[in-house]
Amino acid sequence: MNTVDNINFAGKKALVRVDFNVPLDKKTLQITDDARIRATIPTLKKILNDGGACILMSHLGRPLKKLKDDGTVDFEKHTLKNTLAKVSELLGVEVKFAPDCIGADATKMAAELKSGEVLLLENLRYYKEEEKGDEAFAEKLAKLGDVYVNDAFGTAHRAHASTAVIAKFFPNAKCFGYVMAREIANADKVIKHADRPFTAITGGAKVSDKLLILENLIDKVDNLIIGGGMAYTFLKAQGFEIGSSLCEDDRLDLCLELIKKAEAKGVKLLLPEDSIVADAFSNEANYKPCNNQLIEKGWMGLDIGPKAAAHFAEVIKASKTILWNGPMGVFEMTHFENGTKTAAVAVAEATKNGAFSLIGGGDSAAAVAQFGFEDQVSYISTGGGALLEYFEGKTLPGIAAIGL
Ligand code: AMP
pLDDT average, residue stretch 17-23 = 95
The yes-or-no verdict on residue 200 having pLDDT over 90 is yes
pLDDT tens digits, residue range 315-353?
999 999 999 999 999 999 999 999 999 999 999 999 999
State which CATH number among 3.40.109.10, 3.90.1530.30, 1.10.150.300, 3.40.50.1260 fits the domain covering 4-179: 3.40.50.1260
Query: Hey, whose CA ends up nearest to atom 12 of ligand 1?
Result: 330
Is the Cβ atom of 205 under 6 angstroms away from ligand 1? yes
The yes-or-no verdict on residue 361 having pLDDT over 80 is no
Q: Which of 36, 140, 210, 220 is catalytic?
A: 36
Same fold, 4-179 and 186-391: yes
Catalogue the E-assigned strands of 5-153.
Answer: 13-17, 53-57, 96-98, 118-121, 147-150
* Structural contact between residues 333 and 302, judged by C-beta atoms closer than 8 angstroms: yes
Question: Which pLDDT score is estimated for 383?
Answer: 80
Q: Which of 77, 53, 49, 52 is nearest to 63 (CA)?
A: 77
CA gap 37, 47 in Å, rounded: 16
The model carries a pTM of: 0.89
Cα(122) to centroid of ligand 1, in Å?
A: 36
Domain 186-391 -> CATH class: alpha beta
pLDDT average, residue stretch 218-227 = 97
Query: Hey, whose CA ends up nearest to atom 20 of ligand 1?
Result: 229
pLDDT average, residue stretch 354-361 = 93
pLDDT tens digits, residue range 369-403?
899 999 999 999 988 789 989 988 899 999 999 99
pLDDT average, residue stretch 196-215 = 93
Q: Where are the domains of the chain?
A: 4-179, 186-391
Q: pLDDT band for position 404 (50/70/90)?
A: confident
pLDDT tens digits, residue range 97-125?
999 999 999 999 999 999 999 999 999 99
